[in-house]
Amino acid sequence: MKEKDKKNAPASPEENDKIDIKKSIFQVNKDLKKQREAEMQAQQQEIERRYAEKEKQKREAYEKKLQDERIELMRLKQGLVDESEATIHEEKEEEVKLSLGKKIFNFFYHNKWWLGLGVFFVGLGVFLITDMLSKPHPDSIILMLCENGDVGNSTYLSEFFEEYADDSNGNGKVEVSVYYIPYGDDEYQNYINGVSNKLTNFLNNADSVIVIGNKKTTDELLIPDESLVDLSRLYPDDPHVKDCCYYLKNTDFAEKIGIAPSLISDDMFLALRKPKKLLHSSEKDMQETYDKDFPLFDKMIKDLSKTK
């Protein structure tokens, strides 16, 4: 009962004073904050007013100067005043003499973008030239223009051609590069492998004349009568030769490159491209490649036909 009476009893004057004091402190802080904000706003407005007034004075002075010059010029044209008495004179800027160091700094500072671009392009040119000179230049290049991963990815394929090649570039070693371009029936895979771009590049330059292909190659890429040498005239008695193609089936080609003979399809062949003018090369350039690579081709054909 006593506890209930205590709860319902009115607050003492001391407690009311504490509450009022807290409320007054809060109100004072709030009022002070508003006052500071008002003062800051007033200061900002005063700064802006002074700045606007200063700009206005500058503008008015400049406009007055222009007006005075116009009047003076009109008076000068009308002959009312002598040129020597005129107040309009061309103002010459005093030439500032710079030391050599400052001149050099000034030049680099004002031309930094052009200098930066120049350095970039010089660096790019040096890189491209170095890259071109440091790249290996094979003695011969063979194009494989058909889809057969077992043949195209054989680690012994390049070595097979190197057996018949000469050191035509004079670097002291024989190197033959085989560029495998898996041209097949799956157009999506052709796109993924970048086949179209590779064909456009390699079939339009004179870097190679020896080709590995199949029926799809002669049907769609290299039309025999237009693009390939008639091997039946060069090797009339060779049973593996038919028209422009030397067929690899029933030769020891598979054994020499380290794969099973069953992986060589019936229509896989070797061929020679005819020297002719191309998009990126002249007939003369292609003839030089043909003359260089024909001994390799001839020795290879005779060796393959001899062993089977």
pLDDT tier for residue 213 given thresholds of 50, 70 and 90: very high
Q: Is residue 92 part of a domain?
A: no
Looking at residue 3, what is its pLDDT?
Answer: 47
Among 70, 85, 100, the domain boundary falls at 85
Q: Is residue 49 part of a domain?
A: yes
pLDDT at 242 over 90: yes
pLDDT at 2 over 50: no
**300 shares a domain with 231:** yes
What's the whole-model pTM score? 0.57
Looking at residue 14, what is its pLDDT?
Answer: 47
pLDDT digits (tens, 9 = 90+) for 260-280: 999 999 999 999 999 999 888
**166 shares a domain with 41:** no
Of 171 and 198, the one with more pLDDT = 198
**291 shares a domain with 193:** yes
Q: Is residue 126 part of a domain?
A: no
How does DSSP assign 108-119, residue by residue? HHHTHHHHHHHH
**275 shares a domain with 146:** yes
Q: Is residue 28 part of a domain?
A: yes
**166 shares a domain with 236:** yes
**298 shares a domain with 188:** yes
pLDDT at 19 over 50: no
Domain that holds residue 268: 138-306
Looking at residue 1, what is its pLDDT?
Answer: 44
Find the length of the chain.
308
pLDDT at 33 over 80: no
Q: Is residue 32 part of a domain?
A: yes
**33 shares a domain with 181:** no
Q: At CA 91, angle to CA 85 and CA 92, rounded to 5?
A: 130
CA separation for the pair 244, 231 (Å, rounded): 5
Virtual CA dihedral for 11, 16, 18, 20, nearest 10 degrees? 150
CA separation for the pair 279, 206 (Å, rounded): 10
Query: What does the pLDDT average to over 95-114?
Result: 70
Q: Is residue 288 part of a domain?
A: yes
Q: Is residue 230 part of a domain?
A: yes
**225 shares a domain with 77:** no
Quote the number of domains for the chain.
2
Name the residue type at position 279.
L
Q: Is residue 247 part of a domain?
A: yes
Among 40, 59, 85, the domain boundary falls at 85
Of 245 and 83, the one with more pLDDT = 245
pLDDT tier for residue 13 given thresholds of 50, 70 and 90: very low
Strand partners, 177: 141
- Considering 60-69, 127-136, 215-224, the range whose residues carry the highest mean pLDDT is 215-224
Looking at residue 6, what is its pLDDT?
Answer: 46
Looking at residue 275, what is its pLDDT?
Answer: 93
CA separation for the pair 110, 116 (Å, rounded): 12
Looking at residue 123, what is its pLDDT?
Answer: 80
pLDDT at 41 over 50: yes
Helix (H, G, I), strand (E, B) or coil at 220: helix
pLDDT tier for residue 209 given thresholds of 50, 70 and 90: very high
Query: What does the pLDDT average to over 18-46?
Result: 71
Looking at residue 96, what is its pLDDT?
Answer: 59
Task: Say if CB 240 and CB 305 are below 8 A apart.
Answer: yes
Backbone angles phi, psi at 256, to 5 degrees: -70, -30
Q: What is the CATH number of the domain that holds 214?
A: 3.40.190
**262 shares a domain with 194:** yes
Query: What does the pLDDT average to over 223-245?
Result: 94
**201 shares a domain with 268:** yes
Give the least confident one: 135-139, 236-240, 241-245, 289-293.
135-139
**206 shares a domain with 81:** no
Mean model confidence pLDDT for the chain: 81
Of 227, 218, 214, give the one whose Cα is nearest residue 290.
227
Looking at residue 307, what is its pLDDT?
Answer: 57
**271 shares a domain with 142:** yes
Which helix or strand (DSSP H or E) is residue 211 part of?
strand 210-213
Of 90, 61, 87, give the one whose Cα is nearest residue 74.
87
pLDDT at 4 over 60: no
104: its two tokens? 């050099």
Of 108 and 284, the one with more pLDDT = 284
Looking at residue 250, what is its pLDDT?
Answer: 92
